[in-house]
Structure 1
Amino acid sequence: MRRFDDAVARMLSRAEITERAATQGFPHFADQNTGEWTLSPDGNWTGGFWGGLLALGAATTGESRYAELAGDIARRLTVRASSETAFRGFLFFYGAGVAYLTGKSAPARESALAGARGLAASFNHDAGVIPLGVEAEEADAVGQGAANIDAVPGTVPLLAWAAAELHQPELTEIARRHAERHIEYCVRTDGSVCQSAAFDEGSGALVRRYTHKGLDDDSTWARAQAWAMLGFGQAARWVSPDFLDTALTVADWWLEHLPEDHIAPWDFDAKAPQDTSATAIAAASLLKLSVLAPDRTHYRERALAMVDALVTRFLTPVGEGDTRPAGILTGGCFDYRRDLATDNELVWGDYFLMESLLVLRGVIEATAL
């Protein structure tokens, strides 16, 4: 595991540079050649992963400065608790929940609880789902009658965790219903995942499936598949083991379609370019599922192969003569349809690679997050 120790050291050196660059915003995506970050002023849907990455830095080093920085990110995100977007699950589970679960940060706890309360307030009890919301960070087709799979990971464990902290079991029920609806909306009969859905606001009935970021409505956007693996795995861990079969189904589909080089394309029907961020999410998910379903021993083996491919072929420096800043996870594809950051460092890819590395090194438990 020496190469993984070295990878963590490189990523921490990259975090030091990122921290100095992100004093007036949140890292969003970066030029993989220069390392220059594009920042979001309010965190968009991605800012929480920066806080989570810092919290993981504290977990692996024991250094209080990482924990303090993570706590500061959690405080800065608290103003987003009432934002009308389902992606608050990403912001508050990763931007605050991770810091509390790994380091018992008091400010992170308060921020995470604020995020959970905000999400619960957005729950449509008639439809049985938290809608994307009018402020959801997608280019179009959002609002009170829209949903997508991205809103399951983070959201489900955040609500279930808050239910225990606040002794409010109704929050777990919201998490359960929200996850169940997304199985109906997004998981196809063959185990592939469609990113998005329109539903009837009064009954919750599915109106149509579509995609925000995939090749087309019938294709399988890699990040949608990875988010489903993560979200339903978290639902199995935090809400009910009844979700495990779905998590395994979507994970098996991923493994059956993953190319031999262990790196996913941005969309499984498009082949190129690749998306290292989707691969990192899937690796972290497989590590969780390998614990929840110990008979699937190949899950950990496949996750290890994916992480090894990311570290050896995409984490700078890649080979001799690579003079780029160390610790950049290259090859992330944010939004190919809109030609946005299609071959870049992506902050969530950084987070999930670091999480996977810490699990493989025994620093954290896979199912702790």
Structure 2
Amino acid sequence: MTLHKLSIAVFTVLHITFYAQSKKEMSALIRNEFNFAEKQYRFLMKSVPKDKMPQSYNASENRLVTRDISWWCSGFYPGSLWMIYEQTNDPEIKAEAEKRLALIEPNKTFTRDHDLGFMMFCSFGNAYRITKDPKYKEIILTSAKSLSTRFRPGMQAILSWDKMADFKGPVIIDNMMNLEMLMWASQNGGDQKIREIAVAHANTTIENHFRPDYSSYHVVDYDVNTGEVLGKKTFQGYSDSSAWARGQAWALYGYTMMYRFTKDQEYLDQARNIAKFILNNPTLPEDKIPYWDFNDPKIPNVPKDASAAAIMASALLELGQYTNGDEKKTCVEAAKQMLVSLSGEKYHAKLNENGGFLLMHSTGGLPLNSEIDVPLIYADYYFLEALKRYKDWYLQ
């Protein structure tokens, strides 16, 4: 064997060994994280009132922050419980998940805003996926029908919130996430008009929500009757023209998901370009956990948002399923770095601390002085989902 061939052989063996070790380490990390989540959520369960859902934790007051079932985050706790149960088979976790589903079931006819996908698909969607109980499926189909009533034909989009002082027909980028329930319902016994609504909303959002660099506005305000764009603004970002980090995560996840259901190349291209904006952004830190807004001029002296990273990681892992070569590697490695960072001491809670939540350092609404540098239930949810996706797709 020549020296050149020997070098190639040695490199190949080292590369394979490194990759196997990397897979071994990630397998251990994911196993440890779900085992930790089982214990941590058993601790959290003790503090959650029977008629409320956990949202966050106030460390200065040592107080669990909870919300009513109509709050947009009400589905994330039961959804997280189901994912933990799926990996651990803990009967107490399952019992808590079932109890919480019963609590939020009345939301299936909720029509006051667009968040029904978060509320009912993250919860009952996981429950049905794991158990195949037909009653869960019927609840999802009813919820999808309820959400579809918020579609406004004049603007070809689902109205996020009803008319407010500053907005006449607000549509927020977050709304892309709720299309998943509509698309699933249309493929599992629901009315095909529901699919048409989801596609129309996604197309309208592509047309009006994005800048040339594929960053997204938070809110586009429409004339509900004509569809005229009245303004492009923000509610939770630094400014109307800034790239609010979690908004970019919603966009990335939403269009990757829409490609899954439709195989429409336009949606895949949109997701790929959003990913490039995020991953090539000069303000994205080395640990891949973004600051709360990519354009806050006070970076790096501003809060980060672990929830945005968790959502991005989950979305990038799915995008990796639809891309190839260097692009696929970039998506998966970035997601992996996010998961490793979120699992590290800087962002990860210790057992029986942090109110029972898994992750620290999320930012809900900084301009609203709301939920700044705290744990948030949806950060946990998407973190668990990303861990599951990595295990299912990249450790086989």
TM-score (norm 2): 0.84
Written as runs of structure 1 = structure 2, the 5 A alignment for 1:170-185 is: 170-185=193-208
Tell which deviates more after alignment, 235-244 or 28-37.
28-37
State the number of aligned residues: 356
Please give the secondary structure, in 1, of the residue aligned with 2:277: helix
* 1:292–1:102 CA distance, 2 compared to 1 (3 A): farther
CA drift at 1:324: 5.8
Give the structure 1 partner of residue 189 of structure 2: 166
Query: Runs of at least 4 residues of structure 1 off by over 6 A?
Result: none
Please give the secondary structure, in 2, of the residue aligned with 1:333: strand
On the 8 A contact 1:175/1:239 being kept in 2, the answer is no
CA drift at 1:331: 0.3
Written as runs of structure 1 = structure 2, the 5 A alignment for 1:1-369 is: 1=26, 2-22=28-48, 23-31=50-58, 36-80=63-107, 81-134=109-162, 141=166, 145-153=169-177, 155-242=178-265, 243-257=267-281, 258-270=284-296, 271=299, 272-295=302-325, 296-312=328-344, 313-317=346-350, 328-362=358-392
In 2, the alpha carbon distance for the partners of 1:288 and 1:35 equals 37
Any unmatched runs of 5+ in structure 1?
none
In 1, the alpha carbon distance for the partners of 2:30 and 2:367 equals 33
* 1:35–1:264 CA distance, 2 compared to 1 (3 A): farther
In 1, the alpha carbon distance for the partners of 2:70 and 2:38 equals 21
On the 8 A contact 2:42/2:93 being kept in 1, the answer is no
* 1:352–1:332 CA distance, 2 compared to 1 (3 A): same
* 1:327–1:134 CA distance, 2 compared to 1 (3 A): closer
Q: Which amino acid is 1:77 matched to? A: I
RMSD: 2.3
TM-score (norm 1): 0.90
* 1:323–1:201 CA distance, 2 compared to 1 (3 A): closer
* 1:101–1:35 CA distance, 2 compared to 1 (3 A): farther
In 2, the alpha carbon distance for the partners of 1:148 and 1:325 equals 30
Q: Which amino acid is 2:205 matched to? A: H
Q: Which amino acid is 1:217 matched to? A: D
On the 8 A contact 2:339/2:383 being kept in 1, the answer is yes
Q: Which amino acid is 2:115 matched to? A: F
Structure with higher Rg: it is: 2
Identity of aligned residues (%): 24
In 1, the alpha carbon distance for the partners of 2:98 and 2:304 equals 33
Please give the secondary structure, in 2, of the residue aligned with 1:21: coil
In 2, the alpha carbon distance for the partners of 1:323 and 1:166 equals 43
Instruction: Tell me the alpha carbon deviations over residues 3-50 of structure 1, each in whole angstroms, 9 at most, x when there is no partner.
Output: 332222222222112222222201111235787421101241111111
* 1:263–1:164 CA distance, 2 compared to 1 (3 A): same
